[in-house]
Structure 1
């Protein structure tokens, strides 16, 4: 369910916003065009949104600025604390939960979003949550994901070798530890659950996925 990574994010919480601004050299390429990615997700989202892994609230803020109704779900208390301290997010309730275990939302939802989160699920969990999200969404609803993913195992291995060669050892360990998906697999998982998906590359690591549920 990805909760095994909470200690990492709890430690990272106070520095996360500096990292996404490119202040950490190892992760600079991973977060290249980060503001544009968040804006793109927010612009594509419908009016009522569940955000999984809301972290320090950066995507939440983009959604709120566009007058969306947002249910922000985040498992790390340290991350929630940073988000709650941001004045523009003072009216947002950040909910304790993760991509699989979260309180029932008694409100029609037309979009589910996440950024830099989906890779915390293993392949079985990815398939399971996509099936569940289809049931949660209104007819024709969307799942929008921004995350690191790869075209093939060879592509992933090439990126890993580049990280090691650059002595970006924390990034290399991250790429080996977590469950970064392959694009063909993600497309298959969505198609199996009645979604049509589109992929757009953001940088050398990150892709934007927009999966729309087919109307019955």
Structure 2
């Protein structure tokens, strides 16, 4: 359920906000247009929102700019939860993840940025099935994450990173569970969603899924 990566975020919490501004050359393209990516997600949802992988609360801040929107956040890293709560003193941020969370319905959308790849494809399927059961017709899942058009494109990106001596990026792409657009398309459609994709930078795609009747 992605919990194997919590230790990474425990160590990253203090420098995360600096990383997303492009100071790390290896990840500069990954975080290119970071603020725009967060805004793209926020523009597509309103109402009662559940956010996964809150991190330091950057997406949450943009979500709360939408009038009438409330956010319940789930973040498995204790240190990240502390950082987020400092920015968002009136927002509920709980220990949880994409699968391990408790909500009683009344959800308009699930959102996340830069986190869904912490789940294997099998775990992604479990998560999306759960969202389908909790959402009413028209409910949304809006994620932005590193996704590849094909497995071959993923491998090409890994080889390019190695060639550029971006060894941390290459190791990340090989270790975590980055998936492909065809896999996500099948997964969401099988659970009663229509789905659209929009590329936002060389790595990140917007995943916009809507629950059908």
Q: Which residues of structure 2 form unaligned runs of 5+?
A: none
Residue of structure 1 equivalent to 2:28: 28
Q: Does 1:70 align with 2:71?
A: yes
Residues 1:93 and 2:92 are matched in the alignment: yes
Q: Which runs of 4+ in 1 moved over 3 A?
A: none
Q: Does 135-144 or 185-194 show the bigger shift?
A: 135-144
Report deviation, 1:66. 1.4
Pairing of 1:34-49 with structure 2 (within 5 A): 34-49=34-49
The residue that corresponds to 1:164 in the other structure is 162
| Residues 38-76 of structure 1: CA deviation (Å, up to 9, x unaligned) | 101011012111001111101011001113110111000
* Equivalences for residues 64-213 of structure 1 within 5 A: 64-67=64-67, 68-86=69-87, 89-102=88-101, 104-213=102-211
Decide whether the 8 Å contact of 2:29 with 2:203 is kept in 1.
yes
**Greater displacement, 8-17 / 106-115:** 106-115
1:10 aligns with 10
Q: List per-residue Cα deviations over 1:7-56 (Å, max 9, x = no partner).
A: 00110111110011111111110000110111010110121110011111
Question: What SS does the corresponding residue of 1:62 show, helix, strand or coil?
Answer: helix
Question: How far has the Cα of 1:96 moved from its partner?
Answer: 0.6
Structure 1, unaligned runs of 5 or more: none
Question: TM-score, structure 2 length as denominator?
Answer: 0.97
Q: Normalising by structure 1, what TM-score?
A: 0.96
Q: How many residues in Structure 1 have an aligned counterpart in Structure 2? A: 212
Distance (whole Å) between structure 2 residues aligned to residue 82 and residue 212 of structure 1 = 31
Shift of residue 204 of structure 1? 0.8
Query: What is the Cα deviation at residue 107 of structure 1?
Result: 4.8
* Cα offset, 1:138, TM superposition: 2.2
